[in-house]
Amino acid sequence: MQSFCVVQHTYSEFLGLIESQLERRDIGFSYFRPFVGQGLPGAVLQFDALFLLGGAWPVTDREHCPWVDGERELVRAFQKAQRPVVGIGFGALLVAGLAGAELSPEPAHRACWTTARITAAGRGDPLAEAVDGRRVLVMHNGSARLPDGLDPLVVDETGEWLVVRPDANTYGILFRPELKPGMLEDIIMEAGRPVPENMDELIAVAREEWVETQRTTDRVVVALVSALSLMRPRRKPPVFTLKVEDPG
């Protein structure tokens, strides 16, 4: 059975819609929550993939995200071990930064519904083709200016990047296939969390788009499974059991 490592950055933002998709495929997952002081895993070979979820602050905000350096090292370890990495929202910006993107704390919020558009670089990519022409919710804090040579696979209606693939095993996804309307409502309730001014509008559209959103998430998960071979178990270190001999 496959086991995924999932790094959660806020109380409200978990795998959401993606959870049921993974469970249907008999894929387990373990959450790690550095924002409450929980440590990140010290060994990556026990996991088959890494998911980095959304967040409430820019990646550059070290006051609210003092654990970012440790998370960067975790991503590098998964990449070195050739394990799949999927960054969503905050996680996508972190992935882009590791690939040489210039990170900025502005805008404080990028939150909108838009139509995903495949680029020339995205032709033939399973994820890019799966979301081309579909309505998606974009929500993140801060931004990442992509370096030369890292071309987006998917952009929004204005040409801003939505999906990058720095290497064969890594995706950065700025739209949010995991979010349910109830999760957006929970985000508003988080104490001390800044939220976009148009949150009510985002929730209203999320309810209207609910059926199609589920279909989009289905397509995203199927594409990730195909592109990253998520159903293929990775080799894991053996588990040793100590046998205690009875001296008597």
Task: Give the pLDDT of residue 246.
Answer: 54
Query: 0.85 exceeded by the pTM?
Result: yes
pLDDT at 1 over 90: no
| In the chain, % of residues over pLDDT 70 | 95
Q: How confident is the model at residue 107 (pLDDT cuts 50, 70, 90)?
A: very high
Position 75 pLDDT exceeds 80? yes
pLDDT averaged over every residue in the chain: 94
For 167-181, the pLDDT digits (tens) are: 999 999 999 999 999
Query: What is the average pLDDT across 104-116?
Result: 98
Confidence at residue 233, expressed as pLDDT on a 0 to 100 scale: 84
What CATH number is given for 3-228 in this structure?
3.40.50.880
For the segment 113-127, the average pLDDT, to the nearest whole number, is 98
The least confident of 124-133, 151-160, 161-170, 236-245 is 236-245
Residue 149 pLDDT > 70, yes or no? Answer: yes
> What is the per-residue pLDDT across 204-244, written as a single tens digit (0 to 9) for each?
999 999 999 999 999 999 999 999 999 988 876 665 444 55
pLDDT greater than 60 at residue 96: yes
Higher pLDDT, 187 or 246: 187
Between CA 52 and CA 35 the distance in angstroms is: 13
Q: Are 231 and 225 in contact (CB under 8 A)?
A: yes
The predicted structure's pLDDT at residue 245: 56
Domain ranges of the chain: 3-228
